[in-house]
Amino acid sequence: MATAVVGGNWGDEGKGKLTDMMAGDSDIVIRFQGGSNAGHTIVNRYGKFVLHILPSGVFHKDTVNIIGPGVALNLDGFFSEIDSLVARGVPKPRLMISERAQIVMPYHVIFDKLEEERLGPQSFGSTKSGIAPFYSDKYLKIGFQVSDLFDDDLYSRIKDVAGVKALYAESVYGRSDFLDTDTLYGYLKGFADRLLPYTADTTSYLYNAVKEGKRILLEGQLGALRDPDNGIYPFVTSSSPLAGYAAVGAVLPPHAIDRVVTVIKSYSSCVGAGAFVSEIFGSEASELRDRGGDGGEYGATTGRPRRMGWFDAVASRYGCILQGTTEVALTVLDVLGYLDKIPVCTAYDIDGEITEQFPVTRLLKRAKPVYEYLEGWKCDIRSVRSYADLPERAKDYVEFIESKLGFPIKMISNGPKRDDIIFR
């Protein structure tokens, strides 16, 4: 019924490619958390796209794409992404936004920037898309739902919220010029007409869709290790990227999510701060970064060089457990074809104790990687389409990772394109 495609690492695992590929067999694709702070890169017959807020099913003309109530909706981003798709020849997508989704306000973005500046070297490496201030306000109960745009008391609510925020902004950052009620009201009202046709009771729609047996795809953003409850706190995102949260952020019965595809990278990459045990540096890192992904491992939202590392079996197994994985999709295997030997981090050494269990942040900071080395296959595997045709050493690598994860690898992605995929 419902399949979740979610990240098992720190994000950027290649979920966009998998979702785009699987969207062709789905009636509905749903974003259930996060906002435009991450980017999904998709390469298909229309070209190369980076989606930040639109669900990855927008390239399939019959697929209904939904932005669920758990999403941080950036209105500028939403409309500019639709416009840029249409300008590049993609048919206008079918899209619905939950009337309960909340809106990222212009001040959320500014607060995010100001706070990262204030933190200086201690900053979180935020994409400065306003996500943490947005979710803080949501739980402070001073957020704005899409339906509020059509409420008579919108102006007075903005006035109250902006007033209180101005006190805080003045005392912490010494400015509050970005909290003018009229400007904020004008910003929201300016979108009302364009937003109305997309606004819907997606909860009822999905309730019926589940009853009718529609094929639903849930699209996760970022990865398990960024989960605020179970990840590398405080270097986490502000909404849960776990498949379990999709039941809330999209509104589906938990038991309707019967397939969880956890996307795992064949090596590691990470954007932002926080302990990253198998991290590599110098020329070893820059070579992997430049060969990685589709034209290099640089942030899809920020363009920042991603931190690079070898495959971390401890973190990835933990990520799979958090996701409630039923199967793994292993991506970017093609990238490793240049290596004579491939290091795999199979355990952590924490003050002399060797462990395969992923620790809490206090201990993670002290963890050192324990590596095993696998033989490289030293060739280009991008054109391979069946598992049997992979070089033996590439199969050894896949099977070694599978044994360490303890979850079945059912798909192997060996290139950025939709059909660069091997089913197992």
CA distance 78 to 247: 23
Minimum gap (Å) between residue 412 Cβ and ligand GDP: 8
Comparison of 12 and 137: residue with beta carbon closer to ligand GDP: 12
Of the candidate spans 207-215, 328-336, 368-376, 401-409, the one that interacts with ligand GDP by CB under 6 A turns out to be 328-336
Classify each residue of 156-192 as buried b or exposed e, where b means 16 or more C-beta atoms within 10 Å of its C-beta.
eebeebbeebbeebeeebeebebbebeebbebbeebe
Minimum gap (Å) between residue 417 Cβ and ligand GDP: 8
Per-residue binding string, ligand GDP, 264-303, x by CB under 6 A, is -----------------------------xx-----x---
Q: With binding defined as CB under 6 A, does residue 43 bind ligand GDP?
A: yes
Q: With binding defined as CB under 6 A, does residue 34 bind ligand GDP?
A: no
Instruction: Tell me the two tokens of residue 352.
Output: 């002399």
Of the candidate spans 14-22, 60-68, 108-116, 189-197, the one that interacts with ligand GDP by CB under 6 A turns out to be 14-22
Q: With binding defined as CB under 6 A, does residue 17 bind ligand GDP?
A: yes
Give the number of C-alpha atoms closer than 13 A to the C-alpha of residue 228, restricted to the C-beta side: 11
CA distance 255 to 259: 10
User: How do beta strands 367-375 and 409-413 pair?
Assistant: unpaired
**Residue 2 phi/psi, 5° resolution?**
-115, 130
Q: Token match 């303890």: residue?
A: 406
Minimum gap (Å) between residue 269 Cβ and ligand GDP: 8
Q: With binding defined as CB under 6 A, does residue 14 bind ligand GDP?
A: yes
Q: With binding defined as CB under 6 A, does residue 415 bind ligand GDP?
A: yes
Q: With binding defined as CB under 6 A, does residue 334 bind ligand GDP?
A: yes
Q: With binding defined as CB under 6 A, does residue 31 bind ligand GDP?
A: no
Peptide bond into 234 cis (omega under 30): yes
Report the residue from 3, 41, 44, 323 that binds ligand GDP according to the rule CB under 6 A.
41
Please identify every residue annotated as catalytic: 12, 40
Comparison of 44 and 199: residue with beta carbon closer to ligand GDP: 44
CA distance 275 to 315: 11
Residue 358 neighbours by CB distance under 10 Å: 23
Q: With binding defined as CB under 6 A, does residue 226 bind ligand GDP?
A: no
262 to each of 39, 213, 270, 350, how far by Cα in Å? Answer: 17, 23, 17, 27
Q: With binding defined as CB under 6 A, does residue 13 bind ligand GDP?
A: yes
Q: With binding defined as CB under 6 A, does residue 137 bind ligand GDP?
A: no
290 φ/ψ sector (left φ>0, alpha ψ -120 to 50, else beta): alpha
Q: With binding defined as CB under 6 A, does residue 57 bind ligand GDP?
A: no
Of the candidate spans 171-179, 181-189, 330-338, 366-374, the one that interacts with ligand GDP by CB under 6 A turns out to be 330-338
Contact criterion met (CB below 8 Å) for 130 and 111: yes
Q: Report 205-224 residues binding ligand GDP (CB under 6 A).
A: none
Q: Report 391-410 residues binding ligand GDP (CB under 6 A).
A: none
Burial class (CB in 10 A: 0-12, 13-18, 19+), 196: exposed
Of the candidate spans 36-44, 149-157, 174-182, 281-289, the one that interacts with ligand GDP by CB under 6 A turns out to be 36-44
Report the residue from 8, 12, 104, 339 that binds ligand GDP according to the rule CB under 6 A.
12
Q: With binding defined as CB under 6 A, does residue 38 bind ligand GDP?
A: yes
Report the residue from 335, 342, 344, 409 that binds ligand GDP according to the rule CB under 6 A.
335
Q: Report 172-201 residues binding ligand GDP (CB under 6 A).
A: none
Instruction: Tell me the two tokens of residue 383.
Output: 């054109």
Give the number of C-alpha atoms closer than 13 A to the C-alpha of residue 207, restricted to the C-beta side: 4
Task: Give which of 226, 219, 290, 204 is closest to 67, Cα–Cα.
Answer: 219
Minimum gap (Å) between residue 58 Cβ and ligand GDP: 14
Residue 395 neighbours by CB distance under 10 Å: 16
Residues that bind ligand GDP (CB under 6 A): 7, 11-17, 38-41, 43, 293-294, 300, 331-332, 334-335, 413-416, 420
